[in-house]
Amino acid sequence: MKYNLKENVMKEDRLSGGHRMCAGCGSPIAVRTVLRAMDPKDRAVICSATSCLEVSTFIYPHTAWKDSFIHNAFENAAATISGVETAYRAMKKKGKIDENWKFIAFGGDGGTYDIGFQSLSGAMERGHDMVYVCYDNEAYMNTGIQRSSSTPSFADTTTSPVGTVIPGKQQQKKDITKIMVDHNIPYVAQTTFIGDFKDIGQKAHKAIYTPGPAFLNIMAPCPRGWRYPGEKMMEITKAAVETCVWPLYEVIEGQYFLNYIPKNKRPVEEYLRMQGRFSHMFKPGCEWMIEEVQKQVDHNWENLLKRCNG
C-alpha cells in the first residue's frame, strides 16, 4: 500500500480525544500520526510501557485506544508485543485467524533507552514482525522529570539539578537510533513534527509495512520537563531539525538516507534558548556549555553526513 498524505490526514483517529495528556505534549501527536499511517482495514494490537502515555490514556475502565491495547510493565513493552506477534503467527498458521493484524509498541525514552533496552534488543534480534516506537521526551517525565540516558548534556532535571556543584546533566545523550541500526533490522528512522507531518507519516507507514522488526525514534517534547509554553512545541521541533540537534534520517536495510538538510544550519543556542531546562547556560560565565553542545552537534552531524554519503 502506497502512502498518500492527503488521504492519510482524512483518516479517523485511532486514539480518541479526552485522553488527559498535557496541552503541548508531543506523545499523543506521535501516537495519532503513527496509527493514522495504517490502512483502515488493518487491525492492530498496541502495547505501552508504563509512562505518561499509559497512565493518561487508559484509566480503568476508560480507554482512549480504539485498537486492542495492552498495558505492560515499564521494562517489557518489546517482549510483550513480540509475544503477541508470535501467538498471531501460530494461530494464522493453524487457520484460526484470517485478518491482517499489526503489532506496535510505544515507550518513552526511559522505557526504551534504559529500563526496557534488554527486551527491545532481544525482540529486534529475534526478528519479530513488529514496530517499536520511542516517543523521546528526554527524561523520566511521568515519575518526576529525572534524567535518563536520553537526556542531553547540561539539561536541568530533578536528578541532575543545576547548582554550584554540577551544571546539569554531565553526560551526552545516548544514540539509540544508531544502536538499533547496529541490530541489522530492515527499517530504522528518526523523525519529529515538522511542516506538514509528511516525514513522520511516511516513516510510520514504512515501519508498519516493512516485513520484520522496525524502530521509530520520534522527538516528542514535554512542556513540563522542557519548560516551554505548550503552543511553542512545533517551533521547538523545527528548531531541533534546523540546528541539526535532531536530524531527520532513515536506514533501510543498513543504508543511510538523509531526509532533510537545512539550507542555513542554525546555531544550537537558538534551540536551547526556547527551553527553561537550559536557561542556566545563558548566564554570564556559562558560555562554554553552549560551545560544548555546538561541538557535539557539529560532530554528530558530520558523522551522519559521512554515513549517508558513504
Surface-to-core class of residue 254, CB atoms within 10 Å of its CB (0-12 exposed, 13-18 middle, 19+ buried): exposed
Q: Give rounded-to-5 percent helix, strand, coil for the chain.
A: 40, 15, 45
Q: Give the cell for residue 194.
A: 515538522
Bridge pairing between strands 249-252 and 187-191: antiparallel
pTM, full prediction: 0.96
d(CA 197, CA 245): 18
Q: Are 199 and 185 in contact (CB under 8 A)?
A: no
Residue type, 155: A
d(CA 132, CA 85): 12
> Is the pLDDT reported for residue 74 higher than 90?
yes
Average pLDDT, the chain: 95
Q: What is the mean pLDDT of residues 259-273?
A: 97
> Is the pLDDT reported for residue 3 higher than 90?
no
* Beta carbons within 10 angstroms of residue 201's beta carbon: 20
Q: What is the mean pLDDT of residues 55-59?
A: 92
> Is the pLDDT reported for residue 310 higher than 80?
no
* Nearest residue to 129 (alpha-carbon basis) of 42, 2, 255, 18: 42
* 1 pLDDT tier (thresholds 50, 70, 90): low
Give 132-168 pLDDT, tens digit per residue.
Answer: 999 999 999 999 999 999 999 999 999 999 999 999 9
* 258 pLDDT tier (thresholds 50, 70, 90): very high
pLDDT at res. 5:
73
CA distance to 172, 177, 189, per residue, from 2 (Å): 38, 25, 18
DSSP letter for each residue of 283-308: STT-HHHHHHHHHHHHHHHHHHHHHH
Three-state DSSP class for residue 55: helix
> Is the pLDDT reported for residue 99 higher than 80?
yes
d(CA 158, CA 140): 10
Give the DSSP H or E segment for 215. strand 214-219
* Nearest residue to 252 (alpha-carbon basis) of 190, 175, 174, 173: 190
